[in-house]
Amino acid sequence: MTPAGAPTVFVIDDDAGVRASIQGLLKSVGLRSETFGTAQEFLRSKRQDGASCLVLDVRLPGVNGLDFQRQLADAGVQIPIIFVTGHGDIPMTVRP
């Protein structure tokens, strides 16, 4: 059990199995997490202030992960992001 004010890892991935796997891994090392199937679900959620990071799938329905990163930055939302993907390429990693 993690305290309510504990840092939170937010996971956004459209694959329910991937979300569950990442959440299980995080729980096994004592980290609090919340999962979302889309970027829009994440934006609609009520999130507590405090330390957090985002595990973000590059390929999502609607807005993709890279575009979502830009939207967050444009909105002044500063959150560390760890990208995950099964479909990465070199140009994606150096996108401005």
What string of pLDDT tens digits covers the 96 residues of the chain? 546 667 999 999 999 999 999 999 999 999 999 999 999 999 999 877 789 999 999 989 888 899 999 999 999 989 999 999 876 555 655 555
CA nearest 13: which of 2, 26, 4?
Answer: 26
Q: Which run of H or of E encompasses 2?
A: none
Q: How far apart are CA 18 and CA 11, in angstroms?
A: 9
**Counting every residue, how long is the chain?**
96
- Indicate the pTM of the whole model: 0.84
